[in-house]
Amino acid sequence: MTEQSVRARTPARPGGSAFAVAMPAPTLSPVSLGGVRASEPRPVADAASPVRRQSMRGPRGWAKKYQRRLAMTDAFVVALTMMIAHGVRFGWEPLVPVSGVNAPAYILVTVVIAAAWVVMLGWTKSRDPSVLGHGPQEFQRVVHASWLIFASVALVGFMTQWQISRGYLLVALPVGIVSLLGYRAAWRYFVHSQRDRGELRAQCVVVGSPSGARQMIARLNAVPRAGYAVVGACLTFPDTTTVDQVAGVPVLGGTESVASEAERVGAEYVIVSGADALNAAATKDLSYQLERADIGLIVVPAIVDVAGPRVSFTPVEGLPLMHVDAPRFTGGKYALKGALDRIAALVALVVLALPMMVVAFAVVLDSRGPVVFRQERVGVGRRPFVMYKFRTMHVGAERQVAEMERERGSQVPNAVLFKLKRDPRVTRVGRFLRRFSIDELPQLVNVVKGDMSLVGPRPPLDREVRRWEKNVDRRQLVKPGLTGLWQVSGRSDLDWEQSVRLDLYYAENWSIAGDFVIVCRTVWAVVAGRGAY
């Protein structure tokens, strides 16, 4: 929206809810997988939901209440997990001793591990409001806390020479992690349902240039489930008398009055967008003013879409210098990813062999043609490879693409990818397979062959590659994936720009821990069947 030339300094009374404590680092980039932010786009219309005012801070604030409930859930899940592990390994005899000199009974080990696990979940800030409700960081911290606990148990066992049962630990660790992630996902569903109704959103004032503020507001409005409601903007140009709105948000004034205006409208965060918004001295002064007003400060750096592991800060004469490491696409971590991909894909093929035979039989009965559809895709380094899928369309569907693009191009929300919600070429069985991504299972063979990874950017067609703009081909620096950020963030509902941003972010910021989180989220995305057609 263009700025309007009418002066109106008094904005409409804002609503919203404070949700997160002040965040010193940008959490607005697409993912943090091992800092990957997995963006979860929703229709922009969601952002227009009426925003309701709720208190965030203080003992009665929403954030504290949510954290307490989350802690109670964690304690229940962990206690139940440890009881199950004890019962599976030793029956219900509580006084079975651990092997070793002066070793305690397993019931004491169970209680200590459970208590330490709950404490560790808090220590790793997995219940911090800044990571709840959006992105994968919450799930990453849950996994990290769990690994730390069991690594500590192994270390204690080594130092004391107590022979703690491996079977006992091998039950507790996976069952605990899966159960915790499941409960956290259920709580996140609750948060999303509240935010869809306009609840639990923190009121924010954006500070930046007119173009920078407009872009920031658009990105925040595109993901209402992230929990930020922009209620005003302060712009970095001297004459504000000619502008009353930017991107539909009231302009409150210039940068000299950010703190006072934010306090006046009841904002809970001030978001400084880009390096051109304020200089270092002005930002520091603003932070002091906001601290006195109990308003959080979020600083979005000029360089965006860079994940945590690639970023480090070095103080030089009081000036924090941000170091950004170049992305790496070779080395031991990359080799480990490839080995894990192939092993996991091979195990999955063995486990899913019978169900895949049933699917193949259904495809044959539904329509004439081959069971497996083979299509050339573009892989890492732009090298072509043949990708396998269960056939979901009638034979000859590929030859109809050009004609359908001419006829329906204006009706397709994602023109580059050309996806239709009601594609007449899709068979009856194919529609079901696509809804739950069952048609993708043969790509496990591609993973075993080394053409693809379990997690990675979407494998593009050559005709899509020819339409790419500058720098989009950086997504081909890593192998394409059977699933990825695009899969867990809306799939075909995403527009082209969103898909590219997620793929580029993954390519430059991937991590093995992040891959694990994406695989877990893929299960939910597939079951829900959202965005698949």
Encode 38-47: b = buried (16+ Cβ within 10 Å), e = exposed.
Answer: bbbbbeeebb
Beta partners for residue 271, in sequence order: 206, 298
What integer pLDDT is reported at residue 149 of this predicted model? Answer: 92
Structure pTM?
0.62
Q: Is 252 helix (H, G, I), strand (E, B) or coil?
A: strand
Are 439 and 389 within 8 A, CB to CB? yes
What integer pLDDT is reported at residue 44 of this predicted model? Answer: 37
What integer pLDDT is reported at residue 92 of this predicted model? Answer: 74
Residues 6+ apart with CB under 8 A from 81: 114, 172, 175, 176, 179
Phi-psi domain of 457 (left: phi exceeds 0; alpha: psi -120 through 50; beta: other): beta
Element (H, E) at 154: helix 137-160
What integer pLDDT is reported at residue 416 of this predicted model? Answer: 52
Helix axes 166-196, 106-123, angle to 10 degrees: 40
Give the separation between CA 166 and CA 184, rounded to whole angstroms: 27
**290 token code pair:** 């906001």
Give the separation between CA 235 and CA 257, rounded to whole angstroms: 10
Element (H, E) at 273: strand 269-273
Give the separation between CA 293 and CA 263, rounded to whole angstroms: 7
Are 62 and 70 within 8 A, CB to CB? no
User: Burial of 111 by CB count in 10 Å (0-12 exposed, 13-18 middle, 19+ buried)?
Assistant: middle
**421 token code pair:** 């919600």
Give the separation between CA 43 and CA 10, rounded to whole angstroms: 29
Q: Output DSSP code: residue 426.
A: B
| β-sheet with 245-246: strand ranges across | 245-246, 249-254, 228-235, 202-208, 269-273, 296-300
Q: What are the residue boundaries of the structural domains of the chain, listed by start?
A: 62-196, 199-324, 332-528
Amino acid at 214: R
Give the separation between CA 299 and CA 270, rounded to whole angstroms: 8
Q: Is 421 helix (H, G, I), strand (E, B) or coil?
A: coil
pLDDT along the chain (533 residues), means of 10: 37 35 35 34 40 60 83 94 88 77 83 94 89 82 92 86 84 92 90 84 88 87 85 76 80 89 89 77 87 87 63 66 71 89 95 94 91 92 93 75 57 52 80 89 95 92 81 85 82 69 83 84 73 51
Residue owning tokens 């594609």: 423
The yes/no answer on whether domain 199-324 falls in CATH 3.40.50.720 is yes
What integer pLDDT is reported at residue 7 of this predicted model? Answer: 35
Residues 6+ apart with CB under 8 A from 400: 425
Amino acid at 350: V
| Long-range pairs of 196-199 with CB within 8 A, sequence gap ≥ 24 | 196/46, 196/49, 196/224, 196/225, 197/49, 197/52, 198/15, 198/49, 198/50, 198/51, 198/52, 199/17, 199/52, 199/54
